[in-house]
């Protein structure tokens, strides 16, 4: 018996798969805020409860991207866009009036809640 060797023939039509487009964590977060305003509000509440001011500014900057960008929000909130960009920097320090206007432009508001009995 003759041993036959099989040769692989090159395929004429190779199946090509495109890798799924990757996106950054920031892009995914912004998209989540855009899709779900309740999630965005809960995220901000968590940052307010556990984070520092720099984390809050980063969160607000991501939310600004999700809700149309800083320029559009500045117009909606009747704030100066350049000032709002500075305010949303990691070292930003917004006035209460600016913060209230920005949140309102995103369809949100500040609220006060009592601390639980165990944390007082």
Please name the residue that has the structure tokens 């009747």: 78
pTM: 0.70
Number of domains forming the structure of the chain: 1
User: Looking at the domain assignment, is residue 20 inside a domain?
Assistant: no
Distance CA 12, CA 15 (A): 10
Q: Hey, what's the torsion of the CAs at 36, 39, 31, 62, to 10 degrees? A: 130
List, for residues 93-107, the tens digit of each pLDDT value: 989 999 999 999 999
Q: Is residue 82 part of a domain?
A: yes
Greatest Cα pair distance in the chain: 92
Could you tell me if residue 57 is inside a domain? yes
Tokens at 43, concatenated: 């995220």
Q: Is residue 41 part of a domain?
A: yes
Question: Residue 43 domain-assigned?
Answer: yes
* Domain encompassing residue 55: 25-110
The reply to whether 7 falls in a domain is no
Domain membership flag for residue 36 = yes
Digit-coded pLDDT (tens) for 59-74: 999 999 999 999 999 9
User: Which of 119, 91, 83, 88 has its CA nearest to residue 103?
Assistant: 88
């Amino acid at each position: 018996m003759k041993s036959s060797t099989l040769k692989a023939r090159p395929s004429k039509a190779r199946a090509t798969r495109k890798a799924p487009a990757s996106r950054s964590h920031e892009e995914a977060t912004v998209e989540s805020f855009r899709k779900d305003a309740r999630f965005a509000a809960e995220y901000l509440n968590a940052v307010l409860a556990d984070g520092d001011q720099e984390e809050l500014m980063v969160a607000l900057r991501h939310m600004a991207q999700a809700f149309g960008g800083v320029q559009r929000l500045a117009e909606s909130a009747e704030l100066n866009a350049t000032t709002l960009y500075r305010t949303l920097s990691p070292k930003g320090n917004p006035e209460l009036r600016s913060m209230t206007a920005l949140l309102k432009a995103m369809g949100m508001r500040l609220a006060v809640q009592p601390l639980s009995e165990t944390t007082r």
